[in-house]
Amino acid sequence: MRRLLALTVLALSGCVAPRIHTEAELNTVTRQCGLALGELIQDEEQKKLLLAIRQTPTPEQRVCVARWARRNGLKAVFVDNLQFPAS
């Protein structure tokens, strides 16, 4: 019975929506991973996405962001080729 309860709790824990991390938390990770402020954001609509917006991130930066995202139940997405329309 305990084993069934433990399996049920584990299965349901994957359904919990991740929380939105504060700007201070994201800034801390940004500095730890060697990114500039503002280059790491969490999508408010798709809370599981952690967006790293950086031209050519190093492999170390990618690993750092991906590890933090994974530990916090997020999916790291690297956007390195943003092109804005000419006005």
Which tens digits make up the pLDDT trace of 51-85?
999 888 999 999 999 999 999 999 999 987 766 67
Q: Report the number of distinct structural domains present in the chain.
A: 1
In a domain, 6, yes or no: no
In a domain, 29, yes or no: yes
Which two three-digit tokens encode residue 55? Answer: 């031209």
Domain that holds residue 24: 18-79
pTM above 0.95, yes or no: no
Chain CA centroid to CA 29, Å: 10
Chain CA centroid to CA 40, Å: 8
Could you report the per-residue pLDDT of 17-43, keeping only the tens digit for each? 678 999 999 999 999 999 999 999 998
In a domain, 56, yes or no: yes
Are the C-beta atoms of 50 and 35 separated by less than 8 Å? no
